[in-house]
A and B are shown apart, each in its own frame.
Chain A
């Protein structure tokens, strides 16, 4: 039986699922309920001198009637007194000794303030410390949060102060609001950090109310840029995690954050080297209960793949992400449409004509291939056709192209494989799984990268389609 047990920067974890420092970890009562639901750890809502919040605080992006594809917040760190948070940390740790409690910290940038808060958090029983160098709104205006994370020297210096005092592992949380996240990661490493977490939220304005012309989230007619998170940011997070994990100068354990809400998301981040994963938006949307399938699904996948522990697959994909110049220019794939699965929506056709390389055609029902008919010609032709309501008594041949029957041949697009550049777009827009597959074509050419071409002096030669 596979196990989800793991160790992160020396901290034993019953599973890799942690709640990120955010509203779901605001107080001890919440965190204990989360642990009951199956979460393995929680990073406490950032502790520091209590702040004042505004209302409202959140705003989101919906997509095709699905809620919260992306979430933005302008909430600050904990608005509760430091001693209340610390007392609750003690209580949680007393009642849940095997669960991980990480204290997220943010205080003003002086050595004494950091020493003081580190001491108090560890005395309270925290298993580790996460330094919030990422919060992009409000706190950064006061010289904290991303104001630190965006300047590698500050990041390094404060990490150093913390390390002077800390007895538990120190995790530096990185901001993505920076040109190259590796600079901040290296700075944290130089400061002595034991681990990293990334990414914090991304600077954003989610939208504007078109009735009032006011931005969201609305605070008395105004708004402020907030931190963006949720499913929409996952690709950005995956990229930054990969950049950090493949950096030879960093080499630290990383707790991944950014749009994680399912076991697949978790597996992907672990494949890029993450030690644990942190979740916020998905819990804010659906509650703590989502962790059940994250555990269950990940274990099932591990069983199917033959992985016993997270270490068995951690980082396996890191080296498969490379610079473009190392990609094989002679690898050739083409789109294949599986007729029996095609429902006839023709989205691949319009996508290829308007968004790609005009190599999908609607000519299967014609006597010969015809690649010169444009989308406008096809629409025009359809609109000029006279349709009538089929009535059994009047239409003796009866059959019409309606109801649950096979897709008419005329509606199944055809790929011109000679012209297809293998871009994937058609298979991405196709609503049916496996209906359009991208299949490798043997062009008889050995692998060759751009770098190899450059070194062989064949730089600017345009690629030509090789016919077998």
Chain B
């Protein structure tokens, strides 16, 4: 069941993609890392640690870089966050650790925590990539984890450290979920996500790929395991519900990102429109630019102030050359055999209120590819037998333990929080891993 070939070695390698998606934030070399590490004030009860959903002891790992204890630095990071390398690249640190850094109020230069974290993790990989933890003493318990994304991976690692068997089931051919397939390649290359999973797999996690868990399989898993962790993420991207949506040349943003990351798509047509203005929309728009599109429009029905993308993502998209059409929405996709144009309507600018904006005027935009990024649906249909309470399609959990309303089921990540960051999923998974271990221990004590 478990792979013998490292996942890293199974990563598709596509030179065009590597060339077009170089590191957005190039790594620090040793000299730069040590200089930066020495700037850290070593705050007590550091706000960066508090802001990090996984509570990495940031000043501690930074001081270890300064002292030359790189092994200890990586261990400090991984102890709190088993996907520390991915998070160092994928996290929106402006609103997390670096946003909380007291240096904003000192000289307006927050410590480059993400780059330091990446430096420590890269050093671990360069030195052979041996995980500095061992599995706990076998308890004889086993947990099935549905979905192989960050939440399940973090949960599995925590379970293994507690001596509990962890068996992951994922629909895709490779592990990591959105961490592998959904993060812009210039932030986190697909291969890097896999390399990190190889690291945690050293704890002895079992992987089952290309398995889509339905209610039937789920009940089998429930019978054969002591607990279930649901880390299924969200479902597909919403449809617009307008004409022409099934024409070739209409794609959803997550598939588009996964396709280019895995090398299935290596070039974009000339004119691309992305519908939506979240972080995923921006990732897709930037990707289209880098894949060679001459004209990339991001189309949003509200204004600049209402976008859900982080401010720094919006700034980045502008730099990449993405054009923005505010207060605009498509009412039809035109084309004979494939997409040729978008029928658009401009809307009255309105506040973020509930009333739908009013149409003003129509116009058409010639387009070769339409990418939809207007939010994901939920993926909880297979749980509808009533034992697990959902709320707005999301799995309801106890935030501290990850336990659902069915005590044998735990959950975390996007399927519980509506879609946040990798680091939030890792934190959920870690808490659930601890929660499961405690619950199983309680079960044992009660029998």
Please give, as numbers and ranges, the residues of chain B lying within 8 Å of A404 by CB-CB distance: 104-105, 108
CA distance A375 to B44 in the complex (A): 9
Residue of B nearest to A350 (CB): B44
Q: Are B105 and A344 in contact (CB under 8 A)?
A: yes
CA distance A237 to B41 in the complex (A): 30
Q: Are A387 and B105 in contact (CB under 8 A)?
A: no
Q: Are B50 and A382 in contact (CB under 8 A)?
A: yes
Q: How far is the CB of B432 from chain A (nearest CB, A)?
A: 12
Please give, as numbers and ranges, the residues of chain B lying within 8 Å of A142 by CB-CB distance: none
Cβ contacts A379-418/B at 8 Å (1 or 0 each): 1001101111111111000001111111100010000000
A208 part of interface (Cβ distance < 8 Å): no
Q: Are B96 and A402 in contact (CB under 8 A)?
A: yes
B49 part of interface (Cβ distance < 8 Å): yes
Please give, as numbers and ranges, the residues of chain A lying within 8 Å of B308 by CB-CB distance: 391-393
CA distance A358 to B88 in the complex (A): 36
Residue of B nearest to A385 (CB): B50
Q: Are A402 and B44 in contact (CB under 8 A)?
A: no
CA distance A394 to B424 in the complex (A): 13
Q: Are A383 and B96 in contact (CB under 8 A)?
A: no
CA distance A29 to B417 in the complex (A): 74
Please give, as numbers and ranges, the residues of chain B lying within 8 Å of A394 by CB-CB distance: 417-418, 420
Please give, as numbers and ranges, the residues of chain A lying within 8 Å of B418 by CB-CB distance: 394
B421 part of interface (Cβ distance < 8 Å): yes
CA distance A392 to B34 in the complex (A): 35
Q: Are B94 and A403 in contact (CB under 8 A)?
A: yes
B51 part of interface (Cβ distance < 8 Å): yes
- Indicate whether A65 sits within 8 Å of B47 (C-beta atoms), given known contacts A388-B424, A389-B424, A391-B420: no
Q: Are A389 and B47 in contact (CB under 8 A)?
A: no
Q: Are A386 and B400 in contact (CB under 8 A)?
A: yes
Please give, as numbers and ranges, the residues of chain A lying within 8 Å of B51 by CB-CB distance: 387, 400-402
B43 part of interface (Cβ distance < 8 Å): yes
Our pick among B34, B99, B423 for the contact of A402 (Cβ within 8 Å) is B99
Most chain A C-beta atoms within 10 Å of own C-beta, residue among B102, B417, B424: B102
A346 part of interface (Cβ distance < 8 Å): yes
A431 part of interface (Cβ distance < 8 Å): yes
- Indicate whether A401 sits within 8 Å of B417 (C-beta atoms), given known contacts A65-B38, A349-B44, A386-B399: no
Interface residue ranges of B413-447 to A (CB < 8 Å): 417-418, 420-421, 423-424, 427, 431
Residue of B nearest to A63 (CB): B38
B292 part of interface (Cβ distance < 8 Å): no
Please give, as numbers and ranges, the residues of chain B lying within 8 Å of A401 by CB-CB distance: 47, 50-51, 100
Interface residue ranges of B33-72 to A (CB < 8 Å): 34-35, 37-38, 41-45, 47, 49-53, 55, 66
CA distance A300 to B100 in the complex (A): 40
A423 part of interface (Cβ distance < 8 Å): no
Count A interface residues, CB 8 Å: 36
Please give, as numbers and ranges, the residues of chain A lying within 8 Å of B42 by CB-CB distance: 347
Q: Are B420 and A387 in contact (CB under 8 A)?
A: no
CA distance A432 to B44 in the complex (A): 15
Q: Are A64 and B38 in contact (CB under 8 A)?
A: yes
CA distance A279 to B42 in the complex (A): 34
Q: Are B47 and A411 in contact (CB under 8 A)?
A: yes
CA distance A382 to B37 in the complex (A): 23
Residue of A nearest to B42 (CB): A347
CA distance A64 to B38 in the complex (A): 6
A456 part of interface (Cβ distance < 8 Å): no
Q: How far is the CB of A156 from chain B (nearest CB, A)?
A: 48
Q: Are B100 and A378 in contact (CB under 8 A)?
A: no
A343 part of interface (Cβ distance < 8 Å): yes
Cβ contacts A427-455/B at 8 Å (1 or 0 each): 00001100000000000000000000000
Please give, as numbers and ranges, the residues of chain A lying within 8 Å of B363 by CB-CB distance: none
A327 part of interface (Cβ distance < 8 Å): no
Q: How far is the CB of A131 from chain B (nearest CB, A)?
A: 42
Please give, as numbers and ranges, the residues of chain B lying within 8 Å of A406 by CB-CB distance: 105
- Indicate whether A403 sits within 8 Å of B99 (C-beta atoms), given known contacts A347-B44, A391-B308: yes
Please give, as numbers and ranges, the residues of chain A lying within 8 Å of B44 by CB-CB distance: 345-347, 349-350, 375
Q: How far is the CB of B29 from chain A (nearest CB, A)?
A: 14
B92 part of interface (Cβ distance < 8 Å): yes
CA distance A323 to B415 in the complex (A): 71
B95 part of interface (Cβ distance < 8 Å): yes
Q: Are B399 and A345 in contact (CB under 8 A)?
A: no
Our pick among B55, B92, B278 for the contact of A383 (Cβ within 8 Å) is B55
CA distance A155 to B105 in the complex (A): 56
CA distance A411 to B46 in the complex (A): 10
Q: Are B53 and A65 in contact (CB under 8 A)?
A: no
Q: Are A345 and B92 in contact (CB under 8 A)?
A: no
CA distance A383 to B399 in the complex (A): 14
Please give, as numbers and ranges, the residues of chain B lying within 8 Å of A379 by CB-CB distance: 45
Q: Are B47 and A378 in contact (CB under 8 A)?
A: no
Q: Are B52 and A345 in contact (CB under 8 A)?
A: no
CA distance A400 to B53 in the complex (A): 13
Q: Are B100 and A389 in contact (CB under 8 A)?
A: no
Our pick among A375, A388, A392, A402 for the contact of B100 (Cβ within 8 Å) is A402
Please give, as numbers and ranges, the residues of chain A lying within 8 Å of B43 by CB-CB distance: 344-347
Q: How far is the CB of B241 from chain A (nearest CB, A)?
A: 21
Most chain B C-beta atoms within 10 Å of own C-beta, residue among A345, A383, A401, A432: A345
CA distance A431 to B94 in the complex (A): 23
Please give, as numbers and ranges, the residues of chain B lying within 8 Å of A391 by CB-CB distance: 308, 420
CA distance A333 to B100 in the complex (A): 33
Q: How far is the CB of A430 from chain B (nearest CB, A)?
A: 10
5 A–B contacts, CB within 8 A, in A order: A343-B103, A388-B420, A389-B420, A402-B96, A402-B99
- B interface residues with partner A (beta carbon < 8 Å): 34-35, 37-38, 41-45, 47, 49-53, 55, 66, 91-92, 94-96, 99-100, 102-106, 108, 278, 308, 399-400, 417-418, 420-421, 423-424, 427, 431
The list of the 8 closest CB pairs from A to B, nearest first, reads A402-B99, A393-B308, A346-B44, A65-B38, A350-B44, A343-B105, A404-B104, A345-B43
Given pairs A343-B106, A386-B400, 17 additional interface contacts (CB within 8 A): A64-B66, A343-B102, A345-B41, A346-B45, A347-B43, A375-B44, A375-B45, A378-B45, A382-B49, A382-B50, A383-B55, A387-B51, A387-B55, A400-B99, A405-B104, A406-B105, A411-B47
